Amino acid sequence: MLIAVVDKAGRGGTRKVKSAFESVERAYAGLGHTLQRPVSAEIVAIPIMGASKSLPDRHTLFVSVRAVESGLLDGLVAHEVGHMLRTEQDHASHSPDVFRLIEKEVRIPRAGEGAFSAAFNHIQDIYADDLAFPVFSGTDGRRAYDFFSAWIDNNAATKTRNRWQNVGAAATNSFALGNLVRHALIMPDDPLWARARGFDRQAGFEVVDVLAGFYSDLPQDPAPAAFVAQVQRLAGLLSKAATA
């Protein structure tokens, strides 16, 4: 379903992106997942590894120059295709109708909007990775482990004095750990837990264990009302950490 790859950064790599996408597409097909909408890919100069945008008639995959030049391109593509598949499935985590319910029913302080947005995006990432992990990780979970451990190490080095920013970073640490737990790629005594808990202690709260459990235990295919309730719970956990 890949109809075009455009290099908007002027650094090349269109063949690599095309090859990675086609490989990921075949792996997904082998697992019974096939995109129904066409996909256009753009190589762009952005600070994150990549992103995607889904419309009713098409998807756009944004691939950073860094991703093209890394050894993680297939993982990025698998993850973003996971988001596209969830959108096409109208999964509660990727449903515009459910998003409208969340806007009506979930309240977060203005100061916490950034942290909540990041934490909510990680819910979507969990559901995308439920599809993506079998594609790019296979029997070797080391790449996933190394990728997410780097997130925790990076957050440990960038703690700020802003309470809500630290809560957002803790949510990211928790997502990384929860995702690894969900796919049985980390043990309870792994040193990553100690590093994430150390971040919490320095920031003045203790939230990583409960948030990691939240992410790891998200139900596979929740009904809209149940999903909104999960998001409400997440908002409460974040607010509690920010005001502890």
Mean per-residue pLDDT of the chain: 94
Mean pLDDT for the stretch of residues 36-48? 97
Q: What is the pLDDT of residues 85-115, one digit of tens each?
A: 999 999 999 999 999 999 999 999 999 999 9
pTM summary value? 0.95
Element (DSSP H or E) covering residue 52: strand 50-55
**Per-residue pLDDT tens digits for 144-188:** 898 899 989 888 777 688 999 999 999 999 999 999 999 999 999
End-to-end CA distance of the chain: 49
- For residue 223 the two structure tokens come to 């009904």
Q: Residue for token digits 């019974």?
A: 32
Check pLDDT > 60 for residue 139. Answer: no
- Model pLDDT, residue 244: 80
